[in-house]
Structure 1
């Protein structure tokens, strides 16, 4: 871990953390794009979270709802990485978490909603594709369990989906703008458990580096932005992230 004067000067300045699927794998939530990820094992499964297939095919929607019911998200617990971020935030250090994950575990661990920016939305809510109405995922899954294979929106009868950004959908412009603003304002940018291959989220690493932030990448596999990083860490995230944050608190 770099320990020069510039790094030390960042201790009380804003720390931004971009988290990806690798942060949640230790909680039992699979990495979809990794070497053993779901998409590599079952390419057809990607259709279940692809907007065009989902909207066009009721059978895809039925399978998607079954997948949501059986998701490991509902039994997952925050791990050491999630808890370390909460401890860091509660110690009084300025922190913003920008996450590619949709599992909500940062908030379950105790981070305030205002400190977490969910780039790809959340699986804990549903949204209507017609009128935009939102509601808790738990209520929609109760309807599935009661026999509704493809529960429609209760407000307008439109197609419901998880409140996530599916493949084929664009990120919310306002959410992305906030992520870029946080990235440009931070002194330290940690990219943790992300392959940095999915755009536009991946470009935040370069934005941080070009803006003068200290860039640290924590990921098991090489990323396209490793050459820009001040430090690259290959250790397990549950051990590496708490150590990095502890170093920033000294």
Structure 2
């Protein structure tokens, strides 16, 4: 899509500030599984296919009370997967663009990969929280603490044949109750958002300060099933019309307020970056 790539390069090259928004599709090029639809999820986790359990059913806080080994089998495996996975080259490109103008990130991903790629934690708004932080299931008041701390990382052994946790489960340091990831799950009324809230507030202030000042939005892998990220992208780019939407399956742009590119994140960002390096672009 050379025309779309050139148009995206013009928008990004001429921007005075960048908002990077990202959904689950951003991590696929790093090797993370694609959870789109039950079939994609079950290909990644065959034991759940045998049980007939969908992603939405497992990402439910009720399991921590009803069947904690099932709950921590799912989240313990994901925690270790995200620790071991290296962010793809597209993150490096975004980081380089961020060095030339004010940039902030808004993501529904809980993997912490923007921070691992070098983005300052204060500049990453995680609207669904982070799997790298834990909270008390009972909300005893202890607050949120890191799963990766100076005294060692929380380790949850998982039997990959059954996808159930084995051995001791993480506990709250304050009251000793079962711990859970500090992320927003489906039907979740017990999420402790205290860790995520400051960055989300800074993000809102950042957007208010830069509306009408040449802001461009680069959206990556954000689908319509959970439209939080797409809505943020569209609202933030409403004044400038500078929205670059990169999505393998759903690249459409409403009201001609930007450019949509049907492609994966890493390859598309590389193509735009190459275009930015050509004379007369940006």
Q: TM-score range by the shorter chain?
A: 0.7 to 0.9
Please name the residue that 2:163 is paired with: none
SS at match of 2:228: coil
CA contact (8 A) 2:224 2:230 kept: yes
SS at match of 2:249: coil
TM-score by length of 2: 0.72
Matched, 1:104 2:140: no
Aligned residue-pair number = 245
The 1:124/1:58 distance shift into structure 2, 3 A limit, reads: closer
Matched, 1:61 2:71: yes
Select between 115-124 and 41-50 the one with higher mean Cα deviation: 41-50
Matched, 1:159 2:178: yes
Q: Which runs of 5+ in 2 are unaligned?
A: 159-165
Structure 2 Cα separation of the partners of residues 63 and 12 of structure 1: 44
The 1:196/1:95 distance shift into structure 2, 3 A limit, reads: farther
The structural deviation recorded for 1:64 is: 3.2
SS at match of 1:201: helix
CA contact (8 A) 2:95 2:118 kept: yes
Matched, 1:168 2:168: no
2:101 counterpart (89, 93, 98): 93
RMSD: 3.4
Post-superposition Cα deviations, 1:175-224, rounded to whole Å, max 9, x if no partner, equal 5555455456351111111114314333113312433341121000125x
Structure 1 Cα separation of the partners of residues 65 and 18 of structure 2: 39
Mapping 1:113-128, distance limit 5 Å: 113-128=121-136
The structural deviation recorded for 1:2 is: 8.0
CA contact (8 A) 1:140 1:151 kept: no
Please name the residue that 2:161 is paired with: none
The 1:17/1:102 distance shift into structure 2, 3 A limit, reads: same
Q: Which runs of 5+ in 1 are unaligned?
A: none
Structure 2 Cα separation of the partners of residues 244 and 38 of structure 1: 30
The structural deviation recorded for 1:84 is: 0.6
Q: Which structure would you say has the larger Rg?
A: 2
The 1:34/1:177 distance shift into structure 2, 3 A limit, reads: farther
CA contact (8 A) 1:123 1:137 kept: no
Structure 2 Cα separation of the partners of residues 116 and 78 of structure 1: 15
CA contact (8 A) 1:14 1:93 kept: yes
Mapping 1:1-250, distance limit 5 Å: 1=4, 11-33=14-36, 37-38=40-41, 42=49, 44-46=53-55, 47-64=57-74, 66-68=76-78, 71-90=80-99, 92-129=100-137, 130=139, 131=141, 132-137=143-148, 139=152, 141-142=154-155, 148-169=167-188, 172=193, 176=200, 178-183=202-207, 185=210, 187-222=215-250, 226-228=253-255, 229-245=257-273, 250=282
